[in-house]
């Protein structure tokens, strides 16, 4: 049997109507490389015949999610190349399926124009009208041929240090499909270490989740920004990986967990000053493969990742991660910390480079989706990370840096509606205003603070007694640092107005349409806050849903103002 599969190329055929053929490249251990061409519907048939436990990229009936344009053709095809490659590689590494004669036959014969009846799922989106596609979907769902798209999941990280303010027994588990318990950490012996009292908190969380009856899954997250020092060593040899896998499996079995999340920040990069190796990414794949073999197909295995795939041995992001996708349930994209506190503040978590003028075009939700799917990771396995915090900068800026005025003649609203499916927000607020003059205090001083997604241990939140003596809106204790959303409210920079939040106590609210994010500024206080609110979080969740992503997660649930932000995220995901 073949050992690996890649789908890099595709062609289109015209009969019986324009449709896509995927070129499946098959590499055998001891034989020549071969290639077959397959339609998406051929994979659907294989899945039904084998009755396997793995996931295909979703049936869309096309225009239900994408608009009929050439861009749509590219997006759908890229998603399916990644997802179909991951699906076949999963079958080829599973003892239950890799010797199945149906799979062997599938990899030996190409599709032909007469190979069964034509499926609209094989068609190019740009050759179908929206009306035709929606009508086809309605008919096929009614006939039981396809099912309505699965609802994306709403997840969150639960840090062990949030136990006092958010006791497990008091959580509303109906708000969360998955909770990632943070953190255990790898240690010098390739085992797992815990914070004081963490295992007791985890036991309470598991018990409370099970007793809630809402089916919330509890996953142990290992690592974090300050807990990744020993990852490279733990992955460095077969013996170390076996020890680490055994420790993870033992934790799952001991505490009745639903899986393991690896939050290595970051393979083959120093992160918070960690040892690293050019072999990190390859060793990580070996670890995931062993962990999946040990845990079985029913458990969650996820990885917290940046907007770009892991860095390979050549120092560049990997260009093919389909083999990782075959082992993982989710990749959790940390689309935040794009821009930290600075005299030149920028957006913390851009939705996209919507005006085409970003100084960090690879760091946004839109870019991350494109970069991961282009490297072979299915959109249906990608969770989009949403931050429930912002950054407080010492600055008199009244606009965000790095996201400049759109080019002359650029129709931002048309772009957002066509590509993103989103309306322009806050039309009366600042929308891509011109950058401040270089001579103004706090503007143009120092370099912008470029960061990458990270899960950092939070500072204890301020209590009412601690800030009651301060002037309302005084955020000076957070200057240069992250600030939880609920502290923006508690300290008076924001106030709730109905179901949304508005500026208060001298702050002005700006909206940067080029990144789709809000910010607060008060020139007199020399304070700028870049953050996310109900509008921007809702837009990002909508983006995830419309593009077939697995759902969203937040870092972290303890920074919400009650469940206000989580409720918006869930609603935007269609839950």
pLDDT digits (tens, 9 = 90+) for 395-412: 999 988 654 344 455 455
Sign of the four-CA dihedral 523, 412, 500, 534: negative
Task: Sketch the domain layout of the chain as residue ranges.
Answer: 4-142
Residues 6+ apart with CB under 8 A from 262: 221, 222, 223, 284, 287, 288, 301, 302, 303, 304
Residues 6+ apart with CB under 8 A from 409: none
Of 18-27, 146-155, 176-185, 249-258, the one with minimum mean pLDDT is 146-155
Are the beta carbons of 481 and 391 closer than 8 angstroms? yes
Per-residue pLDDT at 269:
95
- The token pair that represents 30 in the structure block: 């001891």
Nearest 10 degrees: CA dihedral of 190, 195, 201, 205? -50
Are the beta carbons of 153 and 554 closer than 8 angstroms? no
Scanning the structure block, which residue is given the tokens 């957006």? 347
Are the beta carbons of 487 and 462 closer than 8 angstroms? yes
- The token pair that represents 147 in the structure block: 């099912």
Are the beta carbons of 137 and 125 closer than 8 angstroms? no
Residues 6+ apart with CB under 8 A from 334: 304, 305, 306, 307, 385, 452, 453, 454, 455, 555
Nearest 10 degrees: CA dihedral of 374, 378, 380, 383? -70
Neighbouring C-beta atoms of residue 484, cutoff 10 Å: 23
Among candidate residues 413, 286, 416, 304, the one with its CA nearest the CA of residue 351: 416
Q: How far apart are CA 481 and CA 341, in angstroms?
A: 6
Give phi and psi for 144, each to the nearest 5.
Answer: 75, 10
Q: Flag whether pLDDT at 433 surpasses 50.
A: no
pTM of model > 0.85: no
Element (H, E) at 21: strand 19-27
Preceding omega of 322 cis (within 30 degrees of 0): no
Residue 518's DSSP bridge partners are 511
What are the b/e assignments for 344-377, b being 16+ CB within 10 Å? bbbbbbbbbbbbebbebeebbbbbbbbbbbbbbb
State pLDDT tens for residues 28-85.
877 788 999 999 889 988 988 888 767 777 665 433 333 334 434 566 787 788 889 8
Per-residue pLDDT at 438:
28
Task: Please state, for a pLDDT cut of 70, what percent of the chain lies above it.
Answer: 77
- The token pair that represents 345 in the structure block: 């503040």
Q: Flag whether pLDDT at 97 surpasses 50.
A: yes
- The token pair that represents 406 in the structure block: 């759109």
Q: Flag whether pLDDT at 196 surpasses 80.
A: yes
Q: Flag whether pLDDT at 291 surpasses 80.
A: yes
Nearest 10 degrees: CA dihedral of 70, 73, 76, 82? -110
Per-residue pLDDT at 445:
35
Between 69 and 207, where is the model more confident?
A: 207
State pLDDT tens for residues 366-393.
999 999 999 999 999 999 999 999 999 9
State pLDDT tens for residues 150-168.
689 999 999 999 999 999 9
Q: Flag whether pLDDT at 434 surpasses 70.
A: no
The CATH homologous superfamily of the domain defined by 4-142: Phox-like domain (3.30.1520.10)
What are the b/e assignments for 146-164, b being 16+ CB within 10 Å? beebeebbbbbbbbbbbbe
Question: Using 50, 70 and 90 to split pLDDT, how confident is the model at 444?
Answer: very low
Among candidate residues 334, 346, 347, 274, the one with its CA nearest the CA of residue 308: 334
State pLDDT tens for residues 213-270.
999 999 999 999 999 999 999 999 999 999 999 999 999 999 999 999 999 999 999 9
Per-residue pLDDT at 142:
54
| Cα→Cα distances 214→180, 269, 325, 541, 563, Å | 16, 39, 28, 22, 16
Residues 6+ apart with CB under 8 A from 8: 23, 25, 81
**What would the mean pLDDT of 109-118 be, rounded to a whole number?**
63
Coil, strand or helix: which one is 207?
helix
Of 161-170, 264-273, 415-424, the one with minimum mean pLDDT is 415-424
Over its C-alpha atoms, the chain yields an Rg (Å, rounded) of: 24
Residue 153's DSSP bridge partners are 551
| Cα→Cα distances 551→2, 60, 175, 337, Å | 33, 16, 13, 20
Q: Assign 3-state DSSP to the chain and report helix, strand, coil percentages, each to 5.
A: 35, 20, 45
Q: Flag whether pLDDT at 447 surpasses 50.
A: no
**Cα 244 off chain centre by:** 25
Are the beta carbons of 13 and 21 closer than 8 angstroms? yes
């Amino acid at each position: 049997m073949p050992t690996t599969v890649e789908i890099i190329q595709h062609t289109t055929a015209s009969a019986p109507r324009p449709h896509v053929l995927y070129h499946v490249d098959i590499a055998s251990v001891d034989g020549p490389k071969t290639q077959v061409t397959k339609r998406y519907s051929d994979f659907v048939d294989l899945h039904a015949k084998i009755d396997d436990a793995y996931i295909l990229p979703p049936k869309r009936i096309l225009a239900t999610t994408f608009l009929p344009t050439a861009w749509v053709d590219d997006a759908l095809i890229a998603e399916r190349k990644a997802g179909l490659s991951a699906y076949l590689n999963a079958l080829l590494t599973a003892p239950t399926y890799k010797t199945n004669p149906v799979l062997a036959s599938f990899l030996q014969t190409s599709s032909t124009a007469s190979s069964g009846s034509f499926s609209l799922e094989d068609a190019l989106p740009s050759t179908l009208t929206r009306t035709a596609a929606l009508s086809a979907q309605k008919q096929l769902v009614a006939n039981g041929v396809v099912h309505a798209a699965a609802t994306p999941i709403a997840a969150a990280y639960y840090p062990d240090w949030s136990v006092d303010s958010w006791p497990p027994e008091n959580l509303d588990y109906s708000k969360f499909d998955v909770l990632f318990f943070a953190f255990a950490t790898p240690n010098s012996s390739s085992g797992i270490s815990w914070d004081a009292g963490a295992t007791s908190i985890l036991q309470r969380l598991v018990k409370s989740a099970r007793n809630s009856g809402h089916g919330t899954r509890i996953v142990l997250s290992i690592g974090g920004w300050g807990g990744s020092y020993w990852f490279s060593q733990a992955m460095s040899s077969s013996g170390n990986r076996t020890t680490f896998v055994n420790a993870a499996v033992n934790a799952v079995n001991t505490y009745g967990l639903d899986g393991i999340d690896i939050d290595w920040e970051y393979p083959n990069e120093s992160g918070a000053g960690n040892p690293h190796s050019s072999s990190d990414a390859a060793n990580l794949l070996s670890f995931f493969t062993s962990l999946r073999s040990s845990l079985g197909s029913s458990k969650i295995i996820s990885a917290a990742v940046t907007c770009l795939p892991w860095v390979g041995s050549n120092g560049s992001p990997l260009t093919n991660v389909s083999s990782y996708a075959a082992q993982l349930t989710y990749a959790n994209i940390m689309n935040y910390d794009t821009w930290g506190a600075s005299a030149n503040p920028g957006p913390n978590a851009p939705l996209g480079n919507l005006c085409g003028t970003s100084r960090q075009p690879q760091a946004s939700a839109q870019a991350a989706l494109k970069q991961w799917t282009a490297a072979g990771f299915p959109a249906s396995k990608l969770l989009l990370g949403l931050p429930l915090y912002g950054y407080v900068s010492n600055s008199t800026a009244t606009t965000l840096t790095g996201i400049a005025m759109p080019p002359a003649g650029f129709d931002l609203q048309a772009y957002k509606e066509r590509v993103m499916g989103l309306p322009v927000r806050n039309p009366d607020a600042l929308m891509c205003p011109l950058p401040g003059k270089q001579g103004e205090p706090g503007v143009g001083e120092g370099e912008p603070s470029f960061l990458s997604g990270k899960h950092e241990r939070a500072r204890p939140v301020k209590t009412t007694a601690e800030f009651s003596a301060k002037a309302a809106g005084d955020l000076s204790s957070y200057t240069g640092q992250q600030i939880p959303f609920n502290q923006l409210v508690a300290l008076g920079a924001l106030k709730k107005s109905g179901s949304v939040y508005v500026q208060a106590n001298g702050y002005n609210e700006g909206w940067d349409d080029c990144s789709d994010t809000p910010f607060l500024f008060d020139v007199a206080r020399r304070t700028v806050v870049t953050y996310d609110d109900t509008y921007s979080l809702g837009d990002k969740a909508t983006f995830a849903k419309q593009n077939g992503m697995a759902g969203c997660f937040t870092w972290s649930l303890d920074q919400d103002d009650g469940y206000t932000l989580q409720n918006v995220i869930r609603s935007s995901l269609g839950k």
